[in-house]
Amino acid sequence: MEDKEIMEKELLIIKGVCDLYLHGTIESSTAEVHTAFKNALDDSLDIQNKIYNLMVERGWYKTDSADQNKISSTKQKFISK
């Protein structure tokens, strides 16, 4: 397995972990449980960000720039409501 494939899988896994910790944080019944989940979520988000940045650095994660006209028209729709 190539490094790119490994990092793609790691990124998918850590995104899933973040989702689980987010729901744990939201649904926690005590302050202690909430704090434990929130700390784990923060740590996981840091890991996700590092993986993402490494992939971008190596050209393995491509993003498209948003069209400024589409941004402006969408923004205008919500401002006028």
Tell me the per-residue pLDDT of 65-77, one tens digit each, with 9 for 90 and over.
888 988 888 888 8
Token look-up 């401002």 returns 79
In this prediction, residue 63 has a pLDDT band, given cuts at 50, 70 and 90, of: confident
**What pLDDT is attached to residue 19?**
98
Number of domains in the chain: 1
Contact 43, 73 (CB under 8 A): no
Please check whether residue 44 is in contact with residue 18, taking contact to mean a CB–CB distance below 8 angstroms.
yes
pLDDT at position 81, please?
63
Give start and end residues of each alpha helix (H) in 29-67: 31-57
Task: Supply the range of the domain harboring residue 15.
Answer: 3-79
pLDDT band at 3 (very low <50, low <70, confident <90, very high): very high
State yes or no: pLDDT of 80 exceeds 80. Answer: no
pTM (two decimals): 0.77
